């Protein structure tokens, strides 16, 4: 069944839907994206319009479809070692933490990093490569979360097109990745030993965080706040700061800023902040 292009009224309903579900403020320039990403679902159900699909999402009987719609509207492409300066700082902070822990009461406490909007997994695996390299046998943990169950499945699979890995140091590629051959040529698989060090879970940053998340030395919250309005951004960062250890660091995207959070965070360099002790 053919359905017409998405109307402004229909688009406005999906803007409200994704704000209510994920706290994401979707600008009017995203109308084509919404139309394109949801068109197949409208066709799948044989519906005459986007409005009919919106009614299906809000009738309370299609919870799996609601999650799928959220997945389709929130997924972003990423790659390994994006914004390399952050990984240089991660290395420095991990080394200094290990040195400070030696002989102290927290000698056996793991160095913990949270990738809080991990998308398809390139960021947490990049973090894990650095920690495996600099901390060796010392205890460390990486938690990775996203609102989208679909990208979390891709992240757990850890199988990527080789072009996503152009920024991975050659040494890391050799040590932590398996190069695809024959029908898998042009792809890489993150090594199982590294995959086992990263735990993935679904977390909606726009709601109360799970009680068992624990606290972290570093949180990566990159390239997600550009989708939040001022109020939502402050609420999300406030929640995350409750999970950041005193003296811990928060990494955000280079196009983002937390100037308005100066009462609770100290800038280290642009896009990296420290929680006072």
What residues are labeled active site? 37, 146
Q: Which residues pair with 269 in a beta bridge?
A: 272
Cα distance between residue 262 and residue 117, in whole Å:
23
Q: What is the CA radius of gyration of the chain?
A: 20
Residues 232/25, Cβ–Cβ less than 8 Å: yes
Q: How far is CA 159 from the centre of its chain?
A: 17
Nearest to 115 by CA among 92, 140, 142, 90: 142
The helices-and-strands tally (H runs, E runs) of the chain is: 10, 10
- Coarse DSSP helix, strand, coil percentages of the chain, rounded to the nearest 5 percent: 50, 20, 35
The count of residues in the chain is 277
Q: Please state, as a whole number, how many other Cβ atoms lie within 10 Å of the Cβ of residue 78.
A: 18
What span, in angstroms and rounded, lies between the C-alpha atoms of 77 and 61?
Answer: 30
What Å distances lie between residue 51 and 12, 55, 59, 147, 211, CA to CA?
11, 6, 12, 24, 37
């Amino acid at each position: 069944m053919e359905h017409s292009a998405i109307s402004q009224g229909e688009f406005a309903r999906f803007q409200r839907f994704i704000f209510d579900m994920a706290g994401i403020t979707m600008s009017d320039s995203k109308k084509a994206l919404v139309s394109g990403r949801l068109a197949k679902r409208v066709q799948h159900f044989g519906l005459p319009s986007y409005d009919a699909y919106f009614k299906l999402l809000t009738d309370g009987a299609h919870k799996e479809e609601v999650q799928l719609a959220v997945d389709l509207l929130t997924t972003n492409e990423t790659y390994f070692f994006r914004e390399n300066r952050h990984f240089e700082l991660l290395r420095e902070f991990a080394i200094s933490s290990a040195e400070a822990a030696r002989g102290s009461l927290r000698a056996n406490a793991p160095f913990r990093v949270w990738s809080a909007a991990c998308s398809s997994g390139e960021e947490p695996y990049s973090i894990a490569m650095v920690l495996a390299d600099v901390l060796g046998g010392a205890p460390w943990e990486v938690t990775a979360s996203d609102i989208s169950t679909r990208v979390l499945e891709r992240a757990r699979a850890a199988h990527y097109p080789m072009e996503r890995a152009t920024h991975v140091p050659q040494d890391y590629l050799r040590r932590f990745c398996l190069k695809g051959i024959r029908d898998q040529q042009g792809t890489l698989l993150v090594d199982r030993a590294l995959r086992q060090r990263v735990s993935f879970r679904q977390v909606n940053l726009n709601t109360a965080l799970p009680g068992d998340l624990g606290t972290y030395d570093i949180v990566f919250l990159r390239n997600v706040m550009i989708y939040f309005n001022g109020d939502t951004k402050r609420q999300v960062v406030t929640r995350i700061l409750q999970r950041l250890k005193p003296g811990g660091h928060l990494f955000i995207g280079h196009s983002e800023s937390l100037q308005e959070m100066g009462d609770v965070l100290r800038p280290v360099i642009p896009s990296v902040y420290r929680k006072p002790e």
